[in-house]
Structure 1
């Protein structure tokens, strides 16, 4: 037994897999990503932020750019780890935060792309990136008590409302605008971000945007007839024409199951029926019953569109499964967590992962993206909370 283990219920499968996950995360993954996974000088490895991605050999790939969303995700990871008591994390979070500030403009906007030295490469605004900046600031605000992170988050929300909001609900994908389909995905992560901000501050005003995003989900994103979650939409929020309008991602269904529960907890709104519909569809059509692996994409009628298995999808499925069955009586969460440990965290450099499996379950990744650690940490956090509830029931 290590300091990361939960004692007293080692015979419970959910607790046993949680203990394995904790050892891998705290003893292998976090130390690796706090050193090799950060970019800079030897005396301060995080001086130039987090690595964008690694080669399959576990060495920095060093592309000439850094996506702001990746820096934000790693800021969240190390903020979370600091709150869990992992000592090196606070310094890493601070350094990544300082690097991330290179992307901030005085009017409240955040740019999309930085060079490795922090210079701006693409000054457009991207809703997906901004959602993760908000999410990271909300979490970093729990580590850095100066109030700067929360102030920046609120300033960013004001800027979004003034410059990217659309009259029929939601926000532009990008500014300057493009002619792509409107997307639910960045709005989903924006909801995640404002829920995190409200949890940080406890201020009801910080929950206001969450109500509007939940209304957008209820009115447009979720199809009540099929219990499916759309990904792409036209300007009027009608499902996109053609194949894009049929495209469904089980991972996002499971992610919304978790988000709906979090929103219900913080707002008092009953979302249980919607979460159950989403879970049922994703589990019925997205999960391979033999392996418990979750597919990347299916159609609204359940037809498999993309039979591969991304890592992030497995993490979100784990969170959704634990929301649906907190004690894991059916065993799906244990199987999904075991898949992460045995199929994705093995056959690769220690502390890293295989980011995708093909239809036969064989590795099919060409690099190790830093961005996946966000999904790993949120999946572990849900597993840890569920396991603790098993050991110390309320």
Structure 2
């Protein structure tokens, strides 16, 4: 929901201004410089860095995951659409680097060497989701139509090669042992929605419809209002503690996705979004700090009480999605949403974006709210940019949206 700037509560206006200043004045210059791997003339000739060391220098681990390249392609594409002058050149460099991982059969390798040679040709569903997502966004900068053609080709390859008889898709191709996971399906829904939003072609919405049906019939537990993480081949929760795990960040991510699905397709999802949101608010947020917790059980017991950065930005997107909606739970009215939105941004700026090199972040806080971890992962930038984009939309911004439609 977008409101006129003069109707915005002061708390949200201040949060938006502070977040914007950090993103454009500190973060993008850093990640567009040391966060890219290239030369002065071609700043992303070899794509994006996998992660930075704690001192803010490139860590150079000897590999580059395709999911990280795709996430950074999205981040710089969105930055370019907002008018950041370095965004388009970096997005193009990362895009060209990613093409080195395109397999002859239409799939994509999951890991490249730092120079772009294929290191692991396995097709991973999580990576494929982000490739489709990033291509769909990059198409808004590139008028050639090639990114959309590649995105559609990847969707077709995924359906032909990795579709599972019981719904959804295999985790990898060739298949590997282990439980089925909701997480890559969640990101695949985000990718399908981005593709449909870019093209406006109803055929591109088909995958989104299928994945929302999978959520409703297999992933969502109506008895607890929760979303599981690990499943058997027939989409039953795996036996043991792993089958009872709930990640509040993913609950919130689905709240936003269901809201976005309803916005783009006109198909209602409010009841499911409300259930997920209510559980997250009741159990997934520390009332003292407003931090979104890492891992719970379906009953709301804390399994891992730290707080990852990405879960905060997904909490932000969910709060914004539910802002002002009549179906929101009574304890999540407009005023309360406004307070929570401001608290999340305050946490980002005052807990995650400090005590680290300027423009970077602490990716995780331990249960005592102390920074934990030994690296600065580039992968978190996608979450940060996506969270900011929703805050900007709420505050009345119009940039960073669909710049063009390519059928």
- Residues in 2 aligned to 1:315 and 1:99: alpha-carbon distance in whole angstroms: 28
Contact 2:220 2:226 in 1 (8 A): yes
TM-score between the two structures when normalised by the length of structure 2: 0.92
SS of the equivalent of 1:335 reads helix
Contact 2:123 2:174 in 1 (8 A): yes
- Residues in 1 aligned to 2:334 and 2:31: alpha-carbon distance in whole angstroms: 30
- Residues in 2 aligned to 1:133 and 1:55: alpha-carbon distance in whole angstroms: 25
Question: 1:298-327: per-residue Cα shift (whole Å, max 9, x none)?
Answer: 000100001010000000001011112248
Contact 2:125 2:172 in 1 (8 A): yes
Contact 2:49 2:378 in 1 (8 A): yes
Assess, with a 3 A threshold, how the Cα gap between structure 1 residues 10 and 186 changes in structure 2: closer, same or farther: closer
Q: Unpaired runs of 5+ in structure 1? A: 1-5, 390-394
Q: Which residue of 1 aligns with 2:167?
A: 169
Q: Which residue of 1 aligns with 2:195?
A: 197
Task: Write out aligned runs for 1:295-334 (5 A).
Answer: 295-326=293-324, 328-330=334-336, 331-334=339-342
Q: Which residue of 2 aligns with 1:343?
A: 351
Q: Which residue of 2 aligns with 1:368?
A: 376
Contact 1:10 1:16 in 2 (8 A): no
SS of the equivalent of 2:249 reads helix
Contact 1:322 1:328 in 2 (8 A): no
- Residues in 2 aligned to 1:268 and 1:106: alpha-carbon distance in whole angstroms: 37
Assess, with a 3 A threshold, how the Cα gap between structure 1 residues 255 and 104 changes in structure 2: closer, same or farther: same
TM-score between the two structures when normalised by the length of structure 1: 0.95
Contact 1:38 1:45 in 2 (8 A): yes
Question: 1:103-161: per-residue Cα shift (whole Å, max 9, x none)?
Answer: 10122100110000001100000000000000000000000010000000000001001
Q: Which residue of 2 aligns with 1:392?
A: none
Question: 1:329-386: per-residue Cα shift (whole Å, max 9, x none)?
Answer: 1111110111001100111111100000000100012100000000000110111111
CA drift at 1:7? 7.6
Q: From 92, 102, 107, give the equivalent of 2:100.
A: 102
Contact 1:53 1:62 in 2 (8 A): yes
Contact 2:63 2:114 in 1 (8 A): yes
Which protein has greater RCO, CA pairs closer than 8 Å, 6+ apart?
A: 2
CA drift at 1:9? 7.4
CA drift at 1:216? 0.4
Question: 1:211-254: per-residue Cα shift (whole Å, max 9, x none)?
Answer: 11001000011100100000000010011110111000000000
Q: From 331, 347, 366, give the equivalent of 1:358.
A: 366
Q: Unpaired runs of 5+ in structure 2? A: 325-332, 398-407
Assess, with a 3 A threshold, how the Cα gap between structure 1 residues 324 and 9 changes in structure 2: closer, same or farther: closer
Task: Write out aligned runs for 1:9-88 (5 A).
Answer: 12-88=10-86
Task: Write out aligned runs for 1:149-164 (5 A).
Answer: 149-164=147-162
Q: Which residue of 2 aligns with 1:291?
A: 289
Matched residue count: 384
Contact 1:288 1:295 in 2 (8 A): yes
Contact 2:5 2:396 in 1 (8 A): no
Contact 2:8 2:395 in 1 (8 A): no
CA drift at 1:42? 3.5
Question: 1:15-59: per-residue Cα shift (whole Å, max 9, x none)?
Answer: 101100000001111111111100123332210000000011000
SS of the equivalent of 2:238 reads coil
- Residues in 1 aligned to 2:9 and 2:55: alpha-carbon distance in whole angstroms: 36
SS of the equivalent of 1:121 reads strand
